[in-house]
């Protein structure tokens, strides 16, 4: 019975030791899990740091792109303002050119009218001179005829005056 008691006692000790070993195994397992969790936590923290760094780089790139976009937009707006100024200047020059052309045309028309009037006056003057010459020749021819009738001039001279008068009239009509 004593052996039995010893066996029982040994079984009890064994069970106690087995519980203790199990408890140590559980503790080791827990420590391993804590260690694994800590490694995972460190990995996650590293990934979070990498993501934070990547986010900072992305923010920097976005800021640079935004700054370039703003700069490009400002340059575009400045170029657009230059184009608008050039357009206004062009319109202004065009209006001045049109006004000057209109004035030049009016001046040319005035000069043309003045020239036409002078030419008309000259033509009228020439016609008046031809009329006066014709009247003079008529009067001269009449005087020559009267003189010829009175015996003062040759008939040949009277005929020459008359022929000269007729040839002048033909030239005037041409």
- pLDDT confidence of residue 57: 96
Between CA 84 and CA 91, with CA 88 as vertex, the angle to 5 degrees is 135
Give burial (CB, 10 Å; 0-12/13-18/19+) of 143. middle
| Per-residue pLDDT reduced to its tens digit, 21-69 | 778 888 888 999 999 999 999 999 999 999 999 999 999 999 999 999 9
- pLDDT confidence of residue 153: 54
- pLDDT confidence of residue 71: 94
């Amino acid at each position: 019975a004593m052996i039995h008691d010893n066996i029982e006692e040994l079984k009890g000790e064994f069970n106690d030791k087995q519980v203790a070993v199990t408890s140590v195994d559980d503790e080791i397992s827990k420590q391993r899990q804590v260690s694994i969790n800590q490694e995972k936590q460190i990995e996650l923290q590293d990934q979070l740091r990498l993501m934070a760094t990547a986010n900072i780089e992305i923010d920097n790139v976005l800021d640079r792109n935004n700054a370039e976009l703003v700069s490009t937009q400002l340059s575009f707006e400045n170029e657009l303002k230059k184009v608008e100024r050039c357009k206004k200047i062009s319109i202004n020059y065009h209006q001045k050119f049109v006004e000057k052309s209109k004035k030049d045309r009016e001046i040319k028309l005035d000069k043309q009218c003045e020239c036409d009037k002078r030419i008309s006056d000259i033509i009228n003057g020439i016609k008046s001179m031809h009329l006066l010459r014709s009247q003079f020749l008529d009067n001269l021819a009449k005087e020559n005829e009267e003189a010829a009738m009175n015996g003062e001039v040759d008939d040949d001279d009277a005929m020459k005056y008359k022929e000269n008068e007729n040839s002048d009239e033909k030239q005037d009509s041409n």
